[in-house]
Amino acid sequence: MTTGRRIDLRSDTVTQPDEKMRVAMSAAEVGDDVLDHDPTMRRLEEETAARLGMAAALWVPSGTMGNLIALFLHLRRGDRFLASAAAHVLEAELGSAAWLAGGMPHALPWTEGPGRVSVEDVRAFAGNSAPYYALTTRLLCLENTHNFAGGTVTPPDEHAKLVSAASEANLLVHLDGARLWNASVALGVPPAALTVGVDTVQVCLSKGLGAPVGSLVAGSKAFVTEARRVRKMLGGGVRQGGVLAAAGLLALERIEDLAQDHVNATTLALGLAELGWQVVRPQTNIVIAAVPDTGAALQSLDRVGVLATAVPGGVRFVTHRDVPAHDIAEALRRVTAASDPVPAA
Ligand SMILES: *Cc1c(COP(=O)(O)O)cnc(C)c1O
């Protein structure tokens, strides 16, 4: 079967900077950000902090570094942190939260639905009244949307309850908001409505918003002053970063476009369900289908030029701005024509 172009649904990170973004990058006003701040970096940091309702923000090369810097400053050796099971900080950052930031992770179950932890579980694991040789639970790490749960959203009221349970238990709160923009668009609330009460938050510009590089970690002014030092320590200070920040500023103007990715994900999920695939209706731009043999399913998809990735027990499709609606339709035609994979019910 001829498949033509590959339809790449492995991740929204495959999005490429378009012509407009490349033009903005080439025209960026720049300075030495490590010496005394690049002007375009400064604009991006101020603009992002404002959108997140935080006092200040710091650009970092990756979301992983943003999470690491936050956890590094929040945790000490002998501390424990709580995170939703299969959180990115637990599964996809090579354990740096433990070996660099020094925190012992504890995964909380998805009591409130896929990716969502309960107030009761936060309270149950937050206690510090233990003997001296017990871990001190220091931090709750939330993730919105939750990547490996299938881009699931935590709404503002549930977020607020978790944050107040954490603060009653003297826990700091870090929000891994790599796709916070998707949550905000799906819920129809500003991003700042989803950061209420957190100490720090990390957001990505290099996923569905289409920037080639960049995340920001936001918090208090004092946090960002310290975060700048840790970023340098990790080798994450960049010089004329304005070239990258210019892409980020344009990315921030594209948040509303994510609504189309969500529509496309729903179309894809409904189409796959019609073909007999086991999928749940997505809340944002991530579709997870349960399959009996992940390797075989990915291979059959690859044969018809549809790229996806493996998750435990299934395959993951991520919609994004470089795969328009007509390509989603084409992907469904290809999967139909392939007849294989037909996952068992
Ligand atoms: C992508 C992602 C990150 C950070 O990823 P980088 O590739 O390091 O930018 C962090 N958390 C979640 C939930 C993510 O999906």
Residues in contact with 275: Cβ distance below 8 Å, sequence separation at least 6, in sequence order: 332, 335, 336, 342
207, two tokens: 């996923």
Residue keyed to tokens 């579980």: 121
CA of 342 to the centre of ligand 1 (A): 31
156, two tokens: 């503002």
CA of 88 to the centre of ligand 1 (A): 7
- List b or e across 195-224, with b for residues whose CB sees 16 or more CB atoms inside 10 angstroms: beebbbbbbbbbbbbbbbbbbbbbbeeebb
CB atoms within 10 A of CB 267: 18
175 and 202 inside one domain: yes
Q: Give the C-alpha separation, 214 to 148, whole Å.
A: 21
176, 200, 209, 213, best to mutate for ligand 1 pocket (most atoms within 8 Å of CB): 176
Residues in contact with 210: Cβ distance below 8 Å, sequence separation at least 6, in sequence order: 15, 16, 17, 18, 21, 251, 254, 320, 321, 322
CA of 64 to the centre of ligand 1 (A): 6
- Residue 36 domain boundaries: 31-253
Q: Which of 232, 253, 274 is the last residue of a domain?
A: 253
70 and 210 inside one domain: yes
Residue keyed to tokens 């929204």: 12
What CATH number does residue 52 fall under?
A: 3.40.640.10
> What is residue 339's predicted lDDT score, i.e. its pLDDT?
59
66 and 168 inside one domain: yes
Q: Give the C-alpha separation, 286 to 318, whole Å.
A: 5
Q: Which of 204, 227, 253 is the last residue of a domain?
A: 253
Instruction: Write the pLDDT tens digit of every residue in 299-338.
Output: 999 999 999 999 999 999 999 999 999 999 999 999 998 8
> What is residue 338's predicted lDDT score, i.e. its pLDDT?
80
Q: Give the C-alpha separation, 59 to 218, whole Å.
A: 9
Residue 216 and residue 57 in contact, taking contact as beta carbons nearer than 8 Å: yes
> What is residue 115's predicted lDDT score, i.e. its pLDDT?
96
CA of 82 to the centre of ligand 1 (A): 18
- Look at residue 146 and tell me if it is in a domain: yes
C-alpha torsion sign, points 158, 118, 186, 192: positive
Which residues is 143 bridged to in the sheet?
Answer: 176
Instruction: Write the pLDDT tens digit of every residue in 135-155.
Output: 999 999 999 999 999 999 999
Q: Give the C-alpha separation, 100 to 81, whole Å.
A: 14
Q: What is the number of the ligand 1 atom nearest to the C-alpha of 65?
A: 8
> What is residue 99's predicted lDDT score, i.e. its pLDDT?
94
What CATH number does residue 299 fall under?
A: 3.90.1150.10
Q: Which of 253, 268, 293 is the last residue of a domain?
A: 253
> What is residue 176's predicted lDDT score, i.e. its pLDDT?
98
CA of 174 to the centre of ligand 1 (A): 14
> What is residue 343's predicted lDDT score, i.e. its pLDDT?
55
Structural domain count of the chain? 2
180 and 317 inside one domain: no
249 and 316 inside one domain: no
59, 204, 231, best to mutate for ligand 1 pocket (most atoms within 8 Å of CB): 204
pTM comes to: 0.96
Q: What is the number of the ligand 1 atom nearest to the C-alpha of 206?
A: 9
**Helix, strand, or coil here: 255?**
helix
> What is residue 132's predicted lDDT score, i.e. its pLDDT?
87
Q: What is the residue with the minimal CA distance to atom 5 of ligand 1?
A: 63
Q: Give the C-alpha separation, 200 to 32, whole Å.
A: 26
Ligand 1 surroundings by CB, under 6 angstroms = 62-64, 67, 88, 143, 147, 176, 178, 204, 206, 215
59 and 74 inside one domain: yes
- Look at residue 24 and tell me if it is in a domain: no
Q: What share of residues in the chain are helix, strand, coil (percent, to 5)?
A: 45, 20, 40
Which residues is 56 bridged to in the sheet?
Answer: 219
User: What are the mean pLDDT values of the chain's consecutive 10-residue runs (345 residues total)?
Assistant: 82 98 98 96 98 98 98 96 98 96 96 96 85 93 97 98 97 98 98 98 98 98 98 98 98 98 98 96 97 95 97 96 98 86 51
